[in-house]
Amino acid sequence: MSRFKIRIGTRKSKLALWQAKTVANKLKEIGYESSIITLKSDGDINLTQPLYSFGIQGVFTKTLDSALLEKKIDIAVHSLKDVPTSLPSEIVLGAVLKRGNPFDIIIYNKKEGFQKNGFIGTGSLRRKAQWLSKYPADKIQPIRGNIQSRIKKLNTKKLNGIIISNAAIERLSIKNIEFEKLDWMIPAPSQGTIGIACLNNNQLIKENLSKINCEETSYCIKLEREFLKILEGGCSAPIGGIARIKDKNVHFNGGIFSLDGKNSKLCSHKFLINQDPISMGQMIANKLLEKGGDKIISTIKNKM
């Protein structure tokens, strides 16, 4: 066992700590002890303001970025979908762990029941847009907070359901809930993936992170994040994208949606895994823009 102890930076929620402990166990497997240092992000402190209204990207990651740059931690563990597609020049994504379930679920309120013209809780523009595209008569109630607090809001806010990630429920082993898998809803790029960031000039950390990196997940999230990077153009648009590998083929489904869910542009691609993921992400995104996605993004920018 190495004498060098790796300092792991993370947010304080139960899910974030689960992710950090999972990384700690992976590091232990390759001979490294670690300590976990918890920090609060802007997104954790302000739980009433919708994320898109912050006007900046990385509301959950900037605090950990600063800790890395100030060398208070050696690595930062993230839910990768929260990490901006453009990182500070001194920071790199050193590894990703094998992806969990990437899809969303809806948890029903047992007391209120599920009904037409219901009230659905979510703080995600992507989930809101896709839900309204299928159930336009429903009303969306913005909710924020950790998984447990969002589940409590089912009753306190008299919601018929809340939409959250399947991976969060599985990782926290949350029981006694009624839910339905939303396999039709396109996930956020990188959803279900634990990402580990480090300083670009820390060669020892980078070398060891490469030992716990999942190559298949890495390929998929590179494609998805590049797809998102090309499309987002600095705005918090409702964008979904998921890449999966089967029999040496990459299957990608993506889409961009208007804020009210009434308009969307979707895409589906299949290609051999020997293609460069970043180039493919760029190509797919540009095709979607040419297909009319650019008009949806332009409208969203004007409204926000």
The end-to-end CA distance of the chain, in Å, is 52
Which backbone phi and psi does 191 adopt, to 5 degrees? -60, 140
From the list 82, 104, 260, 276, the catalytic residue is 82
According to DSSP, the residues that pair with 251 across neighbouring strands are 244, 270
Integer Cα distance of 81 and 201 in angstroms: 24
Answer for the pair 144, 51: CB distance below 8 angstroms, yes or no. Answer: yes
Whole-number Å distance between alpha carbons of 25 and 200: 23
The string of DSSP codes covering 73-106 is: -SEEEEEGGGS-SS--TTEEEEEEPPP----EEE
Determine the Cα–Cα distance for residues 293 and 265; give it in Å rounded to an integer: 6
How far apart CA 77 and CA 96 sit, in angstroms, is 10
Stated as kind and residue range, the H or E segment containing 252 is: strand 249-257
CA distances for 77 relative to 128, 155, 206, 249, 267, angstroms: 27, 32, 14, 29, 31
Asked if 294 is an active-site residue, the reply is: no
Residue 283, CA atoms < 13 Å, CB-side half-sphere: 11
57-65 long-range contacts, Cβ below 8 Å, gap at least 24?
57/84, 57/234, 57/236, 58/82, 58/83, 58/84, 60/11, 63/39, 64/9, 64/10, 64/11, 64/39, 64/197, 65/91, 65/197
Q: Which amino acids are annotated catalytic?
A: 82
